[in-house]
Amino acid sequence: MGRTLVLGGGGITGIAWELGVLAGLHESGIDLSDADTVIGTSAGSVVGAQITSGAVLEDLYARQLRPPEGEIGAHLHPGVLARWVWAFVRERDPRRARARIGRMAHARSESSLAERRRVIASRLPAAEWPSADLRIAAVDARTGDRVVFGRDGGAELVDAVTASCAVPGVWPPAVIGGRPYIDGGVYSTCNADLAAGSERVVALAPIARGAGPLPSPADDLAALEASGARTVLVTPDAAAVAAIGPNVLDPAARAPSAQAGRRQAPEIAERIARVWNRD
């Protein structure tokens, strides 16, 4: 892999913030959508599918500013997070803990799978996998293993994105080939380690921190740098954090998050250009 764009998870607001950053960078002459490989997790899987579809980036950004009709508001309740933490504490083995969280996802969700799939499909400009190398991270709800879907992986694009966005305890697992899958963020909020072998990596990470066995984006990028890659990590600045607010699943925060991402872009453009632009 040459240049890889990593797009992390972060809910509806994460989608908006990432598109704002990408649109602002494009305006500054930096087109991250021309990456050789795009790796998307949860919110990042939506953005990855959008920017590799051939859609105009400015149109994708403008869509974030419109009233969020068709989106379903939700909230990641503290009790759900507590059950995640308890799973990792009780099992000790992260793989078994993720499988326990997968079982929890079967029992608790705030919509039907058909309804959730419809929402995801409405976000995607195209139903087919792009010709670009797009990789989408999810977790097998039965085994706890990470799975990476791509155009040759046997999953329809909308199902792969639905799986990657299936937040346990909020949205139901997606079913692909008869198996249930949950949010790739249960393995890592960014899954930037999948960029191993890349020469240059830019990661947009709406969630800047790791938690317990979940590595932080910075940890993943440090490992990539140790192997010789040139990297840049972009996380929300103070203004973007305020715009995103306490609930990343709140559609009302979508437009402010997109605008904050666009305002942040000029501040990081030079740093990204030094790594991304070909010498």
Catalytic site residues? 42, 183
Rg (CA), the chain: 17
CA atoms within 13 A on the CB side of 61: 20
Burial tier of 84 (Cβ tally within 10 Å: 0-12, 13-18, 19+): buried
Beta bridge partners of 70: none
Greatest distance between any 2 Cα atoms in the chain: 52
Closest CA to 258 of 246, 243, 245: 243
The residue length of the chain stands at 279
By C-alpha distance, which of 135, 139, 223, 144 is closest to 185? 139
d(CA 35, CA 202): 9
